[in-house]
Amino acid sequence: MKKIITLLILCLLLIGTSSAQKTLTGRVYENFGGKEELAVGVNISFNNAQNRMVEGTVSNSNGEYSLRVPLGGGPYTVVFSYIGMKTQSIPYNGQSSLNVVLEEDAKALDEVVVAAKQEQKNEMGITLREQTAATERIQLSEIIEFTPVTSVEEALQGRLAGVDILTGGDPGARNSIRIRGTATLNTSADPLIVINGVPYSTDIDDSFNFATASNEDYAAMLNLSPYDIESIEVLKDAASTAIYGTSGASGVLLITTKTGSKGKPRFTLSSKFTAKFEPESIPMLNGKEYVAFIEDAIWNTANAKGVSTSAALLELLYDTPEINFNKEWRYFNEYNTNTDWLAAVVQNAYTTDNNFSMSGGGEKATYRFSLSYADEDGTTIGTNMNRFSSTLNIGYRFNDKLRVETDFSYAETDKKANWTDNVRSEAMLKMPNKSPYWIDDITLTPTDRYFNRQNAEEFQGAFTGSKNFHPIAMANESFNNSLQQEEKMNFRLNYDILPGLIYTGYVSMKFKTIKNRAFLPQSATGVTMDNTYANRSSDAYSDNLALQTENKLIFRRNWNGIHNIVATALWRTSDSQSSNYSNTIYGVASKHASDPSTNGAIVERGSGDSQVRSISGIGGINYTFLNRYILSGTVNYEGKSSLGKANRWGLFPSLGLAWHIKEENFLQNADWLNSMKLRCSYGQSGAAPSGTAPYMGTYSALGDGYRDNPSIVPVSVQLNKLKWQTASEYDAGFDAGFLDQRLTATFDIYYKYITDLLQRRIAIPTTSGYNSQGNSIAYYNSGEMSNTGWEFRIDYTVVQNDDWRITLNYNIARNINRIEKLPENLPESSYSLRNGTYAQRIIVGAPVGSFFGYRYLGVYDTTLETYARDARGAVMTDLDGKPIVMKNGTYTCFPGDAKYQDINHDGVINQSDIVYIGNANPVVTGGGGFTAKFKQLTLTGFLHYRLGQKIVNQARMNSEAMYGTDNQSLSVLRRWRSPGDDTDIPRALWQYGYNYLGSDRFVEDCSFLRLKTISFSYGLPKNFCRKIKVNTINAFVTAYDLLTWTNYTGQDPEVTLPSRVTDIAMDRAQTPPSKRISGGLIINF
């Protein structure tokens, strides 16, 4: 009974409480064209003193609402908000009814956007005005809109001063990015990519190197759709990159993606179609010209050696059926054709790029969702890339103090390629008198069966593993496909602890997998089925999980406009775990049954796991006095797991000064000058070894122990003294604005000095006791290098009014790289005299990427010219008074042979005559463009240039060598044949002589000026758009890489750099950038 009475009392109390709670009712109207109409779906809420919503509701179809009044905790404000209308906040004073009329909010929204741009801050909480370091920013969204590119790197090319980008021609090819030159010998020289404030993790185990695909093929930005990017900022000097620790030692690219904003839901749909055209190729010999050249080479060699002792050469000349007209031979028809092998493996290609996004938001939440799909065919048959990506960004403001933001993204890139990237170069050098297909004996027409006679008896020989294959079969039947899937999730929290004190933190997780499948068909190689290359199949897989966190406090305080302080402290952690495996088999039935689980014979297999961790604590302070004098400093204390205990932690400080000189009294009346900031900075940054604990000494079990006792053997050396590579950088520059900011200019000059250069795979003597596997150490610190340069950028708005807007921009940069101190362990050059090779040297005073070889002087035309001469030009004689004939190595020169400069005048061309002949670093790089807009019409253009860069044109070397069975270019028709010939091309020889030594003959200036883009767009009239209920429609046509001005003789002057900075940069006839014409529509509604 007592329990029942208690329950009744509780019920009565609850009823009383419920009946005591008040409600606020009313009706909401909107002012539409001077007339009040009922407003449906308006948000009405009670907000507390922190502006956090306590109770809320929306107006119904009659504009009515009913809202419960919170109990206690006041005071409260009643907030009425609706997208596109002014928010009204009315203090609650006990009212029971409240009606409001909402007004349009277009003007206020514009003001908010402008204010946000003016107060934009970097990751340290510092505004652009307060920065003392070298940075540059561009709005990529304006560039991408009308540009037919599928990678961010290509869109950036030439647009940022001091950022040198080289792009490949194949879909998804590796691109090279250098900010202010190369600052390393063996570690990565690529910049750090930061997406929405989160560094893109690229830590990976050194052992990850698939047999058929390298991780370098997957650029950090490959899985990021250019369409989703709002802006990109480049941080160039050590002071600006300090916030990102040692990972930004080679510069930082800050990518900001598009997010939602307050307003009605907005939808954007864009579709582009691009046609790609193969540039004109190097003309090659046809079948008859090829046979004539081969016969000429064999006969010249027989004469040089002596006909009486050249029986083998004469037999080759007269009894080789591939180059003789013998109708009785079984393969006569297959070896008497004219085949353009290169034309058969290239194609005009097409790209489609479709993007959709929707965004919007209200007072509390904003969102943006996007979908993107690009399908790009390559101009080399068998190459393709298609990418699907999706992003979701959600921001929510709980109150005036607490804000959260989440980013979700998924990207899937399917890259298709040939088993080898030498398809083009092989096609260029293939016998043109050989048919790709069997010839029907009756109709004498090609069949559909590949003619793959490619064995030791064939004129060009058997497949070697990289050469002598059927290019068409390789392009059509082989594959090297990689499927990359990446999921990223970021959660960011911002909390205003106190006025001026803000906490920001994020947790980021990225999971990436790469699945690689490759198949080499027997139809492309012609090998027997017991050969390890017969129907070879490879399968490889890698996954990477990266977890990053950051906790940051920013304190900002201003004292009456005199003193301003921004202090920042952050703690960042990174953990990257990777695993991989690879398996290669041969003898599978076909490419459709190439899975490793089939009954193929194993060639090799392997697997590995790795984990890399880093922790960094960064503190910074920025002080401004009288709004004109700025002092900024940061300290980074960072530790990385790839270094041993003794040197695991590094301390890297930076300091910057800036002076807004325009604020001084003596320039107050200079109306022509709107702004002028002078700045200088100094900073240190470091680079650590990659991989999992490469400093650790390791051991392995020895197969045979001593009696019953097991034994072990050392495999790698313990590297207790391995330490950070350290760079110290000085920068000075100015930012200026003139003519009401219509003309802006930025200039920087810098000097960067790098010590303790990290070198990989350093050889050690076998007497150290390490086996053949351990005869090198993973890393070693030694050597010093410097980079000196300057950058300049100017932007000018020529005209801007209601109808016209014309803008110009231009940038130029110069970087000088120099080896200052040789590494102590640098091995001596192992160069030996061979055709087609250059000496690979690193010397003090020369830049990284230098070429060393012989000076080519042309061709010996007569016997007299072959005589050796001393420094005065007099003919040298032997003891008998006879003229000494020049020798290229041990080969005695004859008329028609290549002539090289005898540097030491000893009558012999050898490594003593090798000199510096250029380097692969451009003298200057840059670009410039314009935008001309008249009402709804817009014309844009952009030019990109690289000047003074040298490259070894290996494609030309191979096609002018005239040494073996390779086909040659039409230029060899100008070869020397008899005295008096005016030519610089030597005579043809058959596997004899030194007529194409590594010399400046093949080192070419690949300077170019390229019309990167020219685009015309038209915005349809607004009245038409309103009729079909859309906001805007833009149609555009763009030409890309349409014109190139260059003296380079290769197919294209833009040659990608090797992944190892110390390797020689060569044009190996890779796929060149194609000419593209694109058209499309962009619809906003």
**C-alpha 960, offset from chain centre:** 33
134 shares its domain with 179: yes
pLDDT level of residue 217 (50, 70, 90 thresholds) = very low
- One-letter amino acid for residue 5 of the chain: I
- Shared domain for 45 and 143, answered yes or no, is no
The pLDDT assigned to 1063 comes to 77
Q: Is the pLDDT of residue 507 over 60?
A: yes
- When pLDDT is cut at 50, 70 and 90, the band that residue 14 belongs to is very low
Within its chain, how far is the Cα of 502 from the centroid? 35
- Tell me the residue range of the domain where 32 lies: 22-113
Q: What is the CA radius of gyration of the chain?
A: 35
Q: Is the pLDDT of residue 134 over 90?
A: no
Same domain, 107 and 137: no
- Check residue 962 and give its pLDDT: 95
What pLDDT shows up at residue 208?
A: 42
Please give the pLDDT value at position 628.
Answer: 92
Q: Which helix (H) or strand (E) holds 117?
A: helix 106-118
Q: Residue 973's pLDDT is what? A: 96
Same structural domain, 146 and 104: no
User: What's the confidence (pLDDT) of residue 196?
Assistant: 87
Among candidate residues 232, 262, 292, the one where a domain is terminated: 262
Measured CA to CA in angstroms, residue 558 lies from 400, 624, 626, 633, 663 at distances of: 20, 9, 11, 18, 18
Q: Does 133 lie in the same domain as 100?
A: no
Beta partners for 547? 509, 575
Residue 605 lies in a domain: no
pLDDT given at position 770: 66
Residues 185 and 255 in one domain: yes
Q: Are residues 42 and 170 in the same domain?
A: no
Q: Are residues 80 and 147 in the same domain?
A: no
pLDDT greater than 80 at residue 147: no
Examine the domain organization and report whether 108 and 165 are in the same domain: no
Q: For 294-308, 355-369, 849-863, which range has the lowest pLDDT when averaged over its residues? A: 355-369
**CATH no. for residue 252?**
2.170.130.10
CA dist., res. 552 & res. 598, Å (int):
54
Last residue of a domain, one of 227, 262, 297: 262
Residue 85 near residue 102, CB atoms below 8 Å:
yes
pLDDT at 845: 87
Q: How confident is the model at residue 150 (pLDDT cuts 50, 70, 90)?
A: low
Q: Is residue 959 part of a domain?
A: no
pLDDT band with cut points at 50, 70 and 90 for residue 773: low
Q: What is the pLDDT of residue 215?
A: 36
- Distance, in Å, from the CA atom of 954 to the CA atom of 959, rounded to the nearest integer, reads 8
State residue 906's pLDDT score: 94
State the pLDDT at residue 825.
65
pLDDT score, position 949: 92
Mark whether 48 and 89 lie in a shared domain: yes
pLDDT of residue 256: 86
Under 8 Å between Cβ of 538 and 522: no
Q: Which position has the token pair 């470091």? A: 686
Last residue of a domain, one of 80, 113, 146: 113
Query: Do residues 82 and 88 make contact, with C-beta atoms less than 8 angstroms apart?
Result: no
Sign of CA dihedral 1046, 1051, 1056, 1057: negative
Same domain for 141 and 194?
A: yes
pLDDT digits (tens, 9 = 90+) for 921-939: 999 999 999 999 998 899 9
Which residue type sits at 333?
A: N
The answer to whether residue 131 is domain-embedded is: yes
Q: What percent of the chain has pLDDT over 70?
A: 90
In this structure, the number of other CB atoms found within 10 A of the CB of residue 711 comes to 11
Residue 830 scores a pLDDT above 80: no
**Given a cut of 60, is residue 498 above it in pLDDT?**
yes
pLDDT at residue number 703: 61
Mean predicted confidence (pLDDT) in 659-688: 91
User: Would you state the pLDDT for residue 702?
Assistant: 67
**pTM for this one?**
0.84
Query: Under a CB-based contact definition with an 8 Å cutoff, are residues 1010 and 1064 in contact?
Result: no
pLDDT tens track for 579-612: 998 999 998 887 777 676 667 888 888 888 888 8
Q: How many Cβ atoms are within 10 Å of 830's Cβ, its own excluded?
A: 7
| Beta bridge pairs of residue 371 | 356, 390
* Residue 149 belongs to a domain: yes
Determine, yes or no, domain membership for 938: no
Q: How much is the mean pLDDT over the chain? A: 86
Q: What angle do CA 445, 446, 450 make, to 5 degrees?
A: 160
Reply yes or no on whether the pLDDT at 829 is more than 90. Answer: no
Confidence of residue 114 (pLDDT cuts 50, 70, 90): very low
Q: How many CA atoms lie within 13 A of 508 on its CB side?
A: 24
Mean pLDDT of 29-44: 81
Q: What is the pLDDT confidence band of residue 1, given thresholds at 50, 70 and 90?
A: low
CB 644 within 8 A of CB 619: no
CA separation for the pair 270, 146 (Å, rounded): 10
Domains in the chain, number:
2
Q: CATH number of the domain at 26, please.
A: 2.60.40.10
Per-residue model confidence (pLDDT) at position 109: 39
The answer as to whether 187 is a domain residue is: yes
Task: With respect to residue 756, please indicate whether it lies within any of the assigned structural domains.
Answer: no
Pair type for strands 924-934 and 937-947 = antiparallel
Are 46 and 168 part of one and the same domain? no
Q: Report the pLDDT value the prediction gives residue 385, as an integer from 0 to 100.
A: 92
pLDDT in the model for residue 638: 92
The reported pLDDT for the residue numbered 214 is 37
Residue 80: inside a domain: yes
